[in-house]
Copies of this chain bind each other. A is one copy, B any other.
Amino acid sequence: MKLVIAGAVAAGMSTASKLKRLDPSINITVYEKGKDVSYGACGMPYYVSGEIEDDQSLVARTAEEFRKKGIVLHLKHEVTYIDPLNKEIMVHGLENDTKFSAIYDKLLIATGANAIRLPIEGSELSGIHTLGTLEDGRGLHSILRDDSVQKVAVIGAGYIGVEISESLRKLGKEVVLVEQEPHVLPKFSPLIAEVVEDNLRENGVTIHLEERLEKYGGDSHVEKLYTDQGIYDVDLVIEAIGVKPATKFLDKSGIKRLNNGAVKVNDKLETNIKDIYAAGDCAAYPHKLTGKLAYIPLGTHANKAGRIIAERLSGMDSHFHGVIGSSVLKAFELEIARTGLTLSEAEAFNSDTVSIRALDRAGYYPGATPVDILVIYDVETCKILGVEMVGEQGVAHRINVAASAISSGLTAHEVSQLDLAYAPPFSPVWDPLQTACNQIKCRK
């Protein structure tokens, strides 16, 4: 059996290495467009800031290590076309500009996603960066050590935009964060986002909300930012407005995709075409709460999906249990996390919310800090639909209690009655999540 994998980062290489362990007899060939494999993209903001010193420490395993395990790995080779009828792919060797075809028995599409560039005037100027690949990370790391780069504009205040703003401040740069929505982190409720905004400002980030970038100015290097509200001098720009699945090469393959290009898969990570799987940032997974396909490109899903594909290809009847929208980020002192539906996703349900501010530990224990929690629940079933949290301590793990509860379909009352571990250095006797759930009158 020959498995061909297009893409050698999280989903591709976790499939390859797990499958090689489960069944060494399977022939695995991986084609990767770039020159880096199996790196932790989520760590790049900390490499850019210098908190992580070496770009190689982001690499979980090197190409050489994979090859030693018997995996055939071609770097700088892009899969350009898939012919499902003949189970054949076209490959473009980027270094020597070679083109050749290869056959597969099973194919995994794990080509990831590309950072979206704004299609505006001046976007061809130098000094406009994104942070999608490790190569991007190295470029930013290098240029930001240049003292002539002082004024940096970050376009888009999603996860990457907020994280890189922290990195930039740690490097002593002036940071202007521009977001066209009314708040940073648009997936969060305004309640939580405002706490983050206050913290960003306290840490010296200038935030421009409800402001739309119109064009860049400069001769060959970007020098000015023109928005619908002003003109700003900049030395460097980082666009962080989102990603787009790298699936253009599937246009004629017959493989079904969402409008944004994400490959549709079922709970077996199968596409609509036999023997073709997809996983990672190029795929849209079943959402456990909505029952629909959701595009939530995160490393956790890539790793879980990769493992499931490997298990299935080795003969096990494993299933991917779906996504529910859990995520967390660090921004300066704050931990900011969510799980389940967003406020706007919850509009499809008969839902309501409660919110509280509580202390993260016993009030009498030194160092207690506030945690803000928003709980979205179904007023008919009383089930928790979503939880958002922000605070200085305990948020990143506390959100996962909510994630487990939401996955299991627990009601607010069931959450407030969970037997959670308690000691004064770690939480109040009622955990803040339970205090929030205690506010919910819906009782089932």
Q: A400-B431, A429-B303 are in contact. Are A365 and B46 (CB under 8 A)?
A: yes
Q: Judge whether B421 and A403 touch: CB under 8 Å.
A: yes
Q: Within 8 Å of chain B (Cβ to Cβ): is A72?
A: no
- Smallest CB-CB separation from A300: which chain B residue? B422
> Does A424 interact with chain B (Cβ within 8 Å)?
yes
Produce 1/0 per residue, A407-444, CB < 8 A to B.
Answer: 11010011111111111111101110000001000010
Report A87 CB to chain B, min CB distance, Å: 30
Interface string of A1-45 (1 = CB under 8 A from B): 000000000100000000000000000000000000000101100
How many chain A residues sit at the interface, stated as a range, is 35 or more
Q: Is A329 an interface residue (CB 8 A)?
A: yes
A326 interface residue per 8 A CB criterion: yes
Q: Does A328 contact B (CB under 8 A)?
A: yes
Q: Does A144 contact B (CB under 8 A)?
A: no
A363 to B43, CA, bound (A): 10
Q: Does A330 contact B (CB under 8 A)?
A: yes
| Copies of the protein in its oligomer | 2
A394: Cβ under 8 A from any B Cβ? yes
Q: A residues near B, CB below 8 A?
A: 10, 40, 42-43, 46, 51-52, 57-58, 288, 298-301, 303-304, 307, 316, 318, 320-330, 335, 337-339, 362-366, 394, 396-401, 403-405, 407-408, 410, 413-427, 429-431, 438, 443
A443 and B43 within 8 A (CB): no
Instruction: Tell me whether A425 and B330 are in contact in the complex, defined as CB-CB below 8 angstroms, given that A300-B419, A398-B400, A403-B418 are known contacts.
Output: yes
A393 to B423, CA, bound (A): 14
Query: For A422, what are the chain B residues with a Cβ–Cβ distance below 8 Å?
Result: 42, 298-300, 326-328
In the complex, what's the smallest C-beta–C-beta distance from A168 to chain B, in angstroms? 17
Question: Which of B318, B324, B430 contacts A303, CB < 8 Å?
Answer: B430
Contacts of A426 in B (CB 8 A): 328, 330, 335, 396-397
* A396: chain B residues within 8 A (beta carbon): 394, 421, 423, 425-427
From the candidates B40, B394, B410, B416, name the one contacting A408 in the complex (CB within 8 A): B410
Q: How far is the CA of A415 from the CA of B321 in the complex (A)?
A: 10
Evaluate contact between A424 and B300: CB separation under 8 angstroms.
no
Q: A408-B408, A410-B408 are in contact. Are A40 and B429 (CB under 8 A)?
A: yes
Residues of B within 8 A of A304 (CB): 416-417
A-B contact pairs, 20 of them (CB 8 A): A10-B429, A40-B362, A42-B424, A52-B365, A299-B429, A300-B422, A300-B430, A304-B416, A316-B443, A318-B413, A338-B421, A397-B401, A397-B426, A400-B418, A401-B401, A401-B403, A403-B419, A404-B420, A405-B408, A407-B414
Residue of B nearest to A304 (CB): B417
Residues of the B chain whose Cβ atoms lie less than 8 Å from the Cβ of A288: 419
Q: How far is the CB of A344 from chain B (nearest CB, A)?
A: 19
A318 CB, nearest partner CB in chain B, Å: 7
